[in-house]
Structure 1
């Protein structure tokens, strides 16, 4: 583990949330999809299962996406804004058989607020450790997804949407075609 468990979870969940939207797709089309996202990324606490909550979570995505395209000063501005707007007050907590970790808003805060603060806290760790280079865009030419490279050797190039496999198949076919030419 390169970072604290809650930092890694926050980063992965933030990237996954950003990747639920794109030019031709909506990965959170309804409350059921938000419920599935909530479960898949281990969120706990308040979850209202409402259209209003879904709209609030969707509204967070563009702010988080900006981070993957920003320099350190802009990342800090976004992080500080999210923390300030949420009235974040970091505290150590332990729940659900997890070791002590930081929460900065209560578990009964709105889901979008908790998502924003968890992302901001995780990103603050990256800034403090001078590790913003771990935030990357997928290298596949047809993909606009973001990723967090948590590998020790910083070699991750593709998102989790199968782009690595598509790139490998394309490279294989190109080698095969070149061999037959």
Structure 2
């Protein structure tokens, strides 16, 4: 295992959130937030309103910058997020999960919890010097982020759709 369960889960959720800004935007309604929270098992209080949606949407550019920055810039962003939210890491156990880190209170707004959770996950990535696990999609027409957790570092596309599009284009070019 490259990273702990909570780090991996947070990175997967963050990449999904950042990629939701790609066309077509898939985070445009509070119901989309509900689905995101359910899929990525975020816990804590929620408001289920437009303000929560807007705060999460506003977070995406910062998280994109964090996940695509060089190591020193990523450290600056992580430190800024943790300081801004007065993060106090604590070990917690809940929902059948063993001890893992939480750095915010469960009543903290969801967007703030997402930002801090991402910053905490990026601490592991930075300390392990594994920022190369994060990249942009190899499809020139896509700006999606790729989280490569494979052993051989072979993941190049943000989704199966992008990978298939490139494979079909290459096949058609060979047949032409």
Ranges of 4+ aligned residues in structure 1 off by more than 4 Å: none
CA-based RMSD of the aligned residues comes to 1.2
SS in 2 for 1:93: strand
| Whole-Å separation in 2 of the counterparts to 1:140 and 1:42 | 30
Q: CA deviation at 1:161?
A: 5.5
- Which residue of 2 is the match for residue 60 of structure 1? 59
User: C-alpha deviations, 1:44-70, integer Å up to 9, x for none?
Assistant: 111110111111111110101112432
- Which residue of 1 is the match for residue 44 of structure 2? 45
User: C-alpha deviations, 1:119-142, integer Å up to 9, x for none?
Assistant: 111111000000011110000111
Q: CA deviation at 1:156?
A: 0.6
Normalised by the length of structure 1, the TM-score is 0.93
Unaligned runs of 5+ in 2: none
| Whole-Å separation in 2 of the counterparts to 1:110 and 1:78 | 19
| Whole-Å separation in 2 of the counterparts to 1:113 and 1:67 | 15
Q: CA deviation at 1:84?
A: 0.9
- Which residue of 2 is the match for residue 137 of structure 1? 136
- Higher mean alpha-carbon deviation, 112-121 vs 156-165, is at 156-165
Are 2:94 and 1:108 equivalent residues in the alignment? no
| Whole-Å separation in 1 of the counterparts to 2:97 and 2:67 | 29
Q: Is the 8 A contact 1:138 1:158 kept in 2?
A: yes
Normalised by the length of structure 2, the TM-score is 0.95
User: C-alpha deviations, 1:71-107, integer Å up to 9, x for none?
Assistant: 1111111111111111111111000001111111112
| Whole-Å separation in 1 of the counterparts to 2:3 and 2:115 | 19
Pairs within 5 Å for 1:1-181: 1-22=1-22, 24-160=23-159, 162-177=161-176
Q: Is the 8 A contact 1:82 1:116 kept in 2?
A: yes
SS in 2 for 1:92: strand
| Whole-Å separation in 1 of the counterparts to 2:68 and 2:31 | 30
| Whole-Å separation in 2 of the counterparts to 1:169 and 1:155 | 19
| Whole-Å separation in 2 of the counterparts to 1:115 and 1:29 | 17
User: C-alpha deviations, 1:149-169, integer Å up to 9, x for none?
Assistant: 111111110012611111111
Aligned residue pair count: 176
Q: Is the 8 A contact 1:88 1:104 kept in 2?
A: yes
Unaligned runs of 5+ in 1: none
| Whole-Å separation in 2 of the counterparts to 1:161 and 1:37 | 19
| Whole-Å separation in 1 of the counterparts to 2:66 and 2:81 | 12
